[in-house]
Chains A and B, each alone.
Chain A
């Protein structure tokens, strides 16, 4: 009699354990989805940024006829960042993808900074309405990227913490939950006004 009753309760116990494990799994899935969605929002803003740049370069080309190098560098950096962003969008949080995106973004910000610094020496360009509008939109988009990045990093931190705490840490590995990477951009160099000297 007792053997069978014990068997019955044993089954119930197993079901409870399964329910708990399922609960942990679901929570990790929920947190992972959260940071993936947060990345999708960064992606929207990044795409807008990349879409603005060719227009900017075209406008600048008309005025900065002798700055081919810088302009080409901007376009190249932009293309690289764009493909890095697509790669990261399909696998948000993946260390490799995130690293290459961060690198590409830093490079892009660097070349853009050089372009703006150079543009200071071309007053006609600065007066151009299209140019100033584009620059403003670009700045605005960068701000929005920064804000979404905060949200993404917050989400990644909660996910990573959840993966590392007990008892989740026991299961995270088995279920294939890996640590995700934060999205951090090094501060761009100060955009100093270039003093053009003709000597």
Chain B
């Protein structure tokens, strides 16, 4: 199933779940009413044995119903609000610590390298990486509303015990979740289900506080004692009712997540073409005495997010949030003999040392480093094929990404991980080739930033010259984790500097546009408003203006004169299936494109697919994709939250 269709399916699943959730709420309200009725009327009410009817008090029923609904609603809304920030909120909930991009710890460094490789290969932004220090078991999860606020969290057990291949398998699985849009649904689930769980929480809280005041009460008046007893019983009842909530919660979660886990396994394998890596990790979980069981008290809330079952009770059948471990292993490794490695705590501790030493460098591939200035051309280019690549990276992309990263000078890679130098790298990339403009830009840097930044920028220039040209945009992706650690004030200054450097030549080039867009979009969740995940447009008619602006800009970008632009534009318009008119150059200025992209970002997944196909059609109307056009296409795909893998040099994209 392709990227866009699976996003659509995820949305439809939500509707089914809402129905189940409503059912659960009804059950709970009824149960709480029965509990309240029995307990608070206990003394006075008598079950009329003749008619078999209980003493029904409508006023009590209304009050209890209203209170229960209010609690559930507020519980859900509160959780949804606290998760609005995105994946980082979940990571914190589970006790995660963000991994410093600058880390010296070899295990963490290895983890970050694996994540970076995958991000570049899949075209997704580099997610923030967290480590769950307190969890010695082997487990991981990905969470977020969109790919820009997504995070990947890995348990300490993963870091210490898995080999690089196994780690890569687990991370590939998590990236599939990010790419396929599972996370948004999962996050929404967490929010909604919290309302149901809150009742159990209230029950246990009341019981806890009653334990202290209960002793004092005993000597009190009969009435007072009776009330205390009633409250105690009510709290117990709430606890029981709360368990109904948990039961329904697990039912709902399992309905969604089980199938997705198989899907994520297979997507991950498609990505790495190394099923034994992921299978190895699963086998290790099977054999390890701790397995994948989590210690955190919040594990229940997020149980459906995890790589493997993290709860103590291994529910089977329709309540299980994950498919059985052995089944998962068998699907990945059909020749498995059923043996699991026996790993106890001592062996696990020993592994931690071995793992650190075994930082296997990537095997250099026979092919030379990525050539610069390459063009992707083919006899018969098909936009549909290109768009199909989205969300579907293959092991070729992974190999290309590894090669690209290996071709970067070591000191450059060190710099992108460090906030001060990362800014210098961005400034270096923005320096114009023309000496006059460059002089002006450097003058600005010398005046507005401190001397250190200026000299770092100068130091970065030769390193950039030594890197392949194809690495320009990926380098921006790599700087994002370090830039996330800036303080808001430092970020504001950085933004001003970037804008000033771009404005130095009074025009915005395609690369500058792509750079600014990607940078701001990836950093916005951390410094500005969390991104809107909602879908505002379902029909293409409302978006005609925006599409026209976008396609016009693309047409002008790749064309040498207006007639070529018109041809390219017509191709795109035809692909879109709507009669659009080419806009003038002023109307299709990059600032207008910016606006248009914001609007288009809120369209339904299937619409986005069409828009991207039209965009690609416009670009390939002249039978080849130049470098600049490729970068622009990736920026556009990124703006629409569609991870587009890099164009492989010399790639045949023929039908």
Contact = CB atoms under 8 A, between A and B. Distances in A.
Contact of A12 (B71, B421, B490): B71
B62 A147 contact: no
A144 to B, nearest CB: 5
B102 interface: yes
Interface string B479-497: 0000001111110000000
Interface string B103-114: 110000000000
A7 interface: yes
Interface in B66-82: 66-67, 70-71, 74-75, 78, 81-82
A22 B488 CA distance: 25
Interface stretch (A37-45, A120-128, A176-184, A190-198): A37-45
Nearest to B205: A18
B485 A19 contact: no
B71 A8 contact: no
B359 interface: no
Nearest to A148: B419
A16 to B, nearest CB: 6
A175 interface: no
Interface in B81-103: 81-82, 92, 97-98, 100, 102-103
Contacts of A29: 92
B503 interface: no
Contacts of A23: 78, 81-82
Nearest to B88: A30
A154 B74 contact: no
Interface residues of A, number: 36
A112 B100 CA distance: 28
A38 B78 contact: no
B489 A4 contact: no
A26 to B, nearest CB: 6
Given A151-B485, A154-B487, A8 B62 contact: yes
Interface string A1-30: 100110111011001100100110010011
B17 interface: no
B103 A12 contact: no
A37 to B, nearest CB: 6
Interface string A54-65: 000000000000
Interface string B590-613: 000000000000000000000000
A144 B63 contact: no
A41 B63 contact: no
Interface in A135-169: 143-144, 146-148, 150-152, 154-155, 158
Contact of A38 (B70, B75, B103, B487): B487
Contacts of A40: 100
B92 A144 contact: no
B418 interface: yes
A158 B527 CA distance: 14
B23 interface: no
Contacts of A146: 452
Nearest to A11: B67
B74 A30 contact: no
A11 B70 contact: yes
A33 interface: yes
A148 B419 CA distance: 8
A144 B100 contact: no
Contacts of B81: 23
B580 interface: no
B559 interface: no
B534 interface: no
Given A26-B82, A44-B103, A144 B487 contact: no
Q: Which of B62, B487, B490 has the most CB of A within 10 A?
A: B487
Contacts of A12: 66-67, 70-71, 74
A5 B78 contact: no
Main secondary structure of the interface of A (DSSP, over half): helix
Interface string A69-108: 0000000000000000000000000000000000000000
Nearest to B488: A154
B172 interface: no
B70 A44 contact: no
B199 to A, nearest CB: 11
B471 to A, nearest CB: 23
A44 B63 contact: no
B168 to A, nearest CB: 25
A173 to B, nearest CB: 22
A8 B485 contact: no
A184 B103 CA distance: 23
A4 B59 contact: yes
B74 A16 contact: yes
Nearest to A7: B63
A184 B60 CA distance: 62
Contacts of A33: 92
Contacts of B92: 29-30, 33
A5 B103 contact: no
B420 interface: yes
A154 B67 contact: no
B71 A38 contact: no
A23 B79 CA distance: 10
Contact of A15 (B74, B488, B489): B74
Given A41-B102, A154-B490, A155-B487, A144 B420 contact: yes
A14 to B, nearest CB: 9
Nearest to B85: A30
Contacts of B103: 44
Contact of A5 (B66, B71, B104): B66
B60 to A, nearest CB: 6
A8 B82 contact: no
B70 A15 contact: yes
A150 B63 contact: no
B246 interface: no
A4 B490 contact: no
B244 interface: no
Given A8-B64, A11-B70, A11-B71, A19 B102 contact: no
A9 B74 CA distance: 13
Contacts of A151: 419, 485-487, 490
A162 B642 CA distance: 37
Contact of B60 (A4, A22, A45): A4
7 contacts: A8-B66, A11-B67, A12-B71, A15-B71, A41-B100, A44-B102, A144-B421
Given A8-B70, A151-B485, 7 more contacts: A8-B66, A15-B74, A19-B78, A26-B82, A47-B104, A154-B488, A155-B487
Closest A-B pairs by Cβ, 7 of them: A154-B487, A12-B70, A8-B63, A4-B63, A151-B487, A8-B67, A147-B420
Interface of B: 59-60, 62-64, 66-67, 70-71, 74-75, 78, 81-82, 92, 97-98, 100, 102-104, 418-421, 452, 485-490
